[in-house]
Amino acid sequence: MTATITGSARTRWDALYWREIDDAVGDLDGPVVVLHRAALEANIADLRRRAAGVPIRVASKSLRVRSVIDDILRRDGFAGVLAYDVDEAIWLATASGVTDVLVGYPTARRGSIAALAADEVAAARVTLLVDSVDQLDLIDAAVPASGRPSLRLAIDLDASLVAPVLGHVGVRRSPVHSLDDALGLGRAIVARPGVHLVGVMSYEAQIAGVGDAVGGDWRSGAPLRNRMIRGMQRVSMGELRRRRSTIVGALRELADLEFVNAGGTGSLEVTARDGSVTDIAAGSGFFGGHLFDTYSHFRPAPAVAFGLQVVRRPGPGVVTCHGGGWIASGPPAPDRLPLPVWPPDLAYEPREAAGEVQTPLRGDATDGLSVGDRVWFRHTKSGEIAEHCTEMVVVDHGVIVDRVPTYRGEGKCFL
C-alpha cells in the first residue's frame, strides 16, 4: 500500500506513512533526510487556501533548498522570496533568477552591501531592510552613493503589542513602532541619495509564531494558557491592523511602495484580512515541523523527516542512535528538540536528550530495534534540518524519485 494525502494537510499520520518512507530509503545509510512529495503538495495547497488570494512570499530560511523554492515560485499564489542574508539574496536573484527578493533582516556586512551594489541584476531585484538612520549611514560607508546604483530599501515596522498590563509582547526587532517613527525614517530615506523606499515589512511573531493549542490538562495549566494566548492574539491583531494601515497610508504619500509584507505560517488567515498587506511570508509550513502541532486552526503535514540509525543497545529498553542534535533556534526548551515519531512512543533520556553524535532513546519499542535499524524524527521548525545535510531524498508513492541539494549541498553557508 502507498500512503496518500487527500483533502487538507490534517491527514492522520500513522504507521502506513512512516513505513512507506522507511521502506523507500531502506538501502541508504543514515542520517537520511526525506522530503515526501505528496505531503509537500498538501502543505502548498493548504497554505494557498489559508492565504485567501493574497500572494505568499517564500521565507527561504525555513527551506534552504533552492530547487524547492524555485518550484514553489512557479505556482500561482506565490511571489517573491523573504531571504535571511544579503549574500543569499544575491545568489537567489542571480543564480535562480528570482526577481523579487526581500532581505528580512538588516545587515552590517559592508562587503555584502558592496557586492550587491556591484551587481546590476541583483541591485534591481534585492531589497534591503532597515529600521534606523544608522543603517543608512552604514550602507553609505560600504559604497558611497555616487559609486552605486540606487539601492532598494524597505522599512521594518515593529509589529509587537505594547499593552498596559502585559508590557511588550512579541519579538525584539525594529525600533520603528509609531507613525512618527515610521515617517521619520521614511523621510530620511527619501531625502538620501543612492537609496529609494519601495516597501514595508512587519512580522507579527506573537501571532504567527505562538501556538494556541498546546496539549495538557488543567493541572498543567495548558487550557488556561491557550485561552490567554488566543485573547492576546485577537487584541494584538486588532491593534496592529489599525496601526499598520495608518502607517502604510502615510508612507505611500512619501514613496510609491511596491509591497507591504507581513505575517507568517501561523497567521495567514488573519493577516490576509489586513487590507494594507500585499503579500504574506510563509516558510516552515511547507515542510511542517512539529512546532506547528500546537496550533488550533491548521496542521501541516510532516513533509520532511530525518532517519537515524541505531548503533548501540546499552541495555534493556534503551537504544542509541547515531546523530540527532538538530536543535531549533529559540528559547532552550524541549519543544526545540527533534521529535522521535517512528517507531511510536520513544522518548529521550532526560539527562542526554539529542546529542551531537549520539542520541539514546527509551521506550517499549526499543525491544524490537536492532543495530542498523532506523528511527524517524520530525524537526521543530525547518531551517535547522537543512544545515545538517547536503541533500534531501524525495519520496513519492513509496519510491525515491529525486535527490535535491540543500544550500549546504550547493556549497553555501550563509549563517
List residues bridging with 58 in a β-sheet.
Answer: 81, 282
Mean pLDDT (the chain) is 90
Q: Is pLDDT above 50 for 245?
A: yes
Distance CA 256, CA 261 (A): 15
What was the pLDDT predicted at 3? 43
What was the pLDDT predicted at 4? 38
Q: What is the mean pLDDT of residues 288-301?
A: 83
What was the pLDDT predicted at 212? 60
Three-state DSSP class for residue 58:
strand
Is the Cβ–Cβ distance between 262 and 203 less than 8 Å? yes
Confidence category of residue 203, pLDDT binned at 50, 70, 90:
confident
* pLDDT tens digits, 62-103: 999 999 999 999 999 999 999 999 999 999 999 999 999 999
Lowest mean pLDDT among 63-67, 201-205, 271-275, 346-350: 201-205
Confidence category of residue 279, pLDDT binned at 50, 70, 90:
very high
Q: Is pLDDT above 80 for 163?
A: no
Sorted by sequence, the CB contacts under 8 Å of residue 118 that are 6+ apart come out as 143, 148
What was the pLDDT predicted at 239? 83
What was the pLDDT predicted at 216? 67
What was the pLDDT predicted at 2? 41
Confidence category of residue 331, pLDDT binned at 50, 70, 90:
confident
Sorted by sequence, the CB contacts under 8 Å of residue 51 that are 6+ apart come out as 77, 268, 272, 280, 282
Tell how many helices (H) and how many strands (E) occur in the chain: 13, 19
Q: What is the pTM of this model?
A: 0.91
Q: What is the mean pLDDT of residues 22-45?
A: 95
Cis omega (within 30 of 0) for bond into 164: no
Confidence category of residue 129, pLDDT binned at 50, 70, 90:
very high
**φ, ψ at 349 (rounded to 5°):** -70, 120
Sorted by sequence, the CB contacts under 8 Å of residue 336 that are 6+ apart come out as 327, 328, 329, 330, 380
Confidence category of residue 413, pLDDT binned at 50, 70, 90:
very high
What was the pLDDT predicted at 240? 85
What was the pLDDT predicted at 1? 33
Confidence category of residue 219, pLDDT binned at 50, 70, 90:
low
The residue type of 12 is: R
